[in-house]
Amino acid sequence: MVYFYLRVVRHFLSDKFDITKHKNYKLLEDHDKKNLFDVEEYLTNRDKVKLKSI
């Protein structure tokens, strides 16, 4: 199933294309749960300075 997002219209599923055959399918959360992008975590941490130790 493929998710489509068109302008203000909500995304919907389609069976026209098998998403598992796409070359970037491995980057989706559907393939591996570790690929989940947590928006809330990103927004809370985006302004924090990250220092690397030498």
Domain that holds residue 34: 2-7+18-45
Q: Is residue 52 part of a domain?
A: no
Residue 11 CB contacts under 8 Å (≥ 6 apart), including other chains: 3, 4, 5
pLDDT band at 23 (very low <50, low <70, confident <90, very high): very high
Span 13-17, average pLDDT? 76
Span 12-30, average pLDDT? 82
Q: Is residue 53 part of a domain?
A: no
Instruction: List, for residues 31-52, the tens digit of each pLDDT value.
Output: 888 988 888 988 888 888 777 7
Q: Which pTM does this prediction carry? A: 0.45
Residue with token string 């300075």? 49
Six-digit token string for 10: 């909500």
Per the structure, the count of domains in the chain is 1
Spatial distance between the Cα atoms of 3 and 6, rounded to a whole number of angstroms: 10
pLDDT at 6 over 60: no
Spatial distance between the Cα atoms of 9 and 19, rounded to a whole number of angstroms: 21
Six-digit token string for 39: 């928006």
Q: Is residue 37 part of a domain?
A: yes
